Structure 1
């Protein structure tokens, strides 16, 4: 009898767990249409994807000041913007962390970091932490490559920037670059999803 009750309890827990997983919003998948947003930039202005009338798409990157992984990728994120903004795919960086938990990611710190590094891309704050859950971002950095179409901004790639966060000179697969290059050539992206490596977003 005790065994039966124990098994029944286990089945109930597993059922509830399964339900929770099914009902959880995991954000965008490849092929989804990403909704626009309006977030404050480090210059105090509000920025939306719709502001970029001539863009062909966007390299939306969730990143921050305090994560060592994000810091390791700062120069590579800047390089992506310098290479692709003029070709129609600008970087749009978004800081998703709760600044009460990570004060080093507050707006003043973002402004200082951007000035120190010479960022040429907008560095936006997801102040109310509403945008990163829509995307399904879990790490910093976490990249979403969007392609502008008549239907909207279609998600074409999700994941890491490349395959070596430790050493930029030892990278074998440049996932984001390969994906953008494919879109610019009108070709299919070979690798559309990878696992983002970084710090968890602080809620």
Structure 2
């Protein structure tokens, strides 16, 4: 029995280390991580958060092609991206689903999906879910809004109803964007993201 426990210990330690490689979610006020790391955009260009940043900040969203919740949110994602762009806030979506690159979340699938949906903003591959790990992101969709000083001001869901756009009670992200650009403090800086789990390989 003692030998079995000793043999299992390294495996348990490895599993613990793998789990710990995913950071806790960024806290409000945290600095945008890996701002200059380049990621492959659907246009073929290499893009960083710094490249995508605009005068008033940056909207980062972890998303994908395959999650049913992402699809339910698709029109609202486009609306939020349009609002952000109109307020001089950059927009970048990341696909962190490394485990499903051959099952609907490949680079080519991302290009096709973005074209179908009319994306006019950056949509990049998050290789090995590295950025999702750094942000502590666990869901798609999941949003992180940063101000012009690269500080996190809002983290969570797009709104309070993942199932029905016509039954939304509060548009969390839209409100946070408007509060940010008008210089107000964010009334509700964190909300709970509801969606599909990110498909990591570890």
**Stretches (4+) displaced over 6 A:** 19-24
Give TM-score, length-normalised by structure 1.
Answer: 0.83
Q: Which residue of 2 aligns with 1:137?
A: 137
Q: How does 1:84-95 map to 2 (within 5 A)?
A: 84-95=84-95
Q: Which residue of 1 aligns with 2:116?
A: 116
Distance 2:66 2:146 in 1: 26
Distance change (3 Å), C-alpha of 1:53 and 1:124: closer
Query: Quick check: which has more Rg, 1 or 2?
Result: 1
1:90: how far off?
A: 2.6
Aligned residue pairs, count = 183
SS in 2 for 1:176: helix
Retained in 1: the 8 A contact 2:54–2:148?
no
Larger displacement relative to structure 2 (76-85 or 153-162) = 76-85
- Structure 1 residue 179 corresponds to structure 2 residue 176: yes
Retained in 2: the 8 A contact 1:102–1:202?
no
SS in 2 for 1:128: helix
1:128: how far off?
A: 2.6
Q: Which residue of 2 aligns with 1:51?
A: 51
Q: How does 1:8-47 map to 2 (within 5 A)?
A: 25-35=23-33, 36=35, 37-47=37-47
Q: Which residue of 1 aligns with 2:3?
A: none
Distance 2:172 2:75 in 1: 16
Q: Which residue of 2 aligns with 1:126?
A: 126
What root-mean-square deviation, in Å, do the aligned CA atoms of Structure 1 and Structure 2 show? Answer: 2.2
Distance 2:148 2:23 in 1: 24
Q: Which residue of 2 aligns with 1:158?
A: 155
Q: Which residue of 2 aligns with 1:5?
A: none
Retained in 2: the 8 A contact 1:78–1:121?
no
Q: How does 1:88-107 map to 2 (within 5 A)?
A: 88-100=88-100, 103-107=103-107
Q: Which residue of 2 aligns with 1:8?
A: none
Give TM-score, length-normalised by structure 2.
Answer: 0.84
Distance 1:64 1:22 in 2: 24
1:68: how far off?
A: 0.2
Structure 2 unaligned spans of 5+: 1-12
Distance 2:180 2:147 in 1: 8
